[in-house]
Amino acid sequence: MTAAVRRPTPLTLVSGGRAAGREAAIAQALRPQQASAVILEGLADGNAILADLAEQVSPSPSFLLQLLRIAPGCLCCSGNLVLRVTLNRLLRHPPAHLFISLADATHIEQLRTWLTASPYDTLLALQADIVVA
């Protein structure tokens, strides 16, 4: 019996603007009939667009939105371990699409390099970034 080949999970990095703007951009990029996960870095700014959307659609078997929030901090430096643990747990049962919202995109290139190195190079497929003005 051969093991099924796992397709890499599409990953979109979302940066720029305020938290509400990044969440709105992710909400627009979500596809119906597709289980998605969103890792939000930092604190919400009181406008919980994705949390409200998750509450509305998650009971639906045809659309699942999983939200994970991690403490603010550079995801390639101080937040590296937290992001790694969060990703490893999430990828045990991978979503159809993953979004990571960055509160600070100063080291986005280093993060991108880290996400394309082993073991994530076979688990994730980086998509075009979404940059919020």
Tens digits of per-residue pLDDT, 120-133?
A: 999 999 999 999 99
Quick one: pLDDT at residue 42?
77
Domains belonging to the chain, first-starting first, are 9-131 (3.40.50)
Q: What is the mean pLDDT of residues 23-42?
A: 90
Quick one: pLDDT at residue 105?
84
Q: What is the mean pLDDT of residues 48-76?
A: 72
Q: State which amino acid sits at residue 112.
A: R
Percent of the chain whose predicted confidence (pLDDT) is above 70:
86
User: DSSP alpha helices (H): ranges in the chain?
Assistant: 19-29, 49-57, 80-90, 108-115, 120-123
Quick one: pLDDT at residue 2?
57
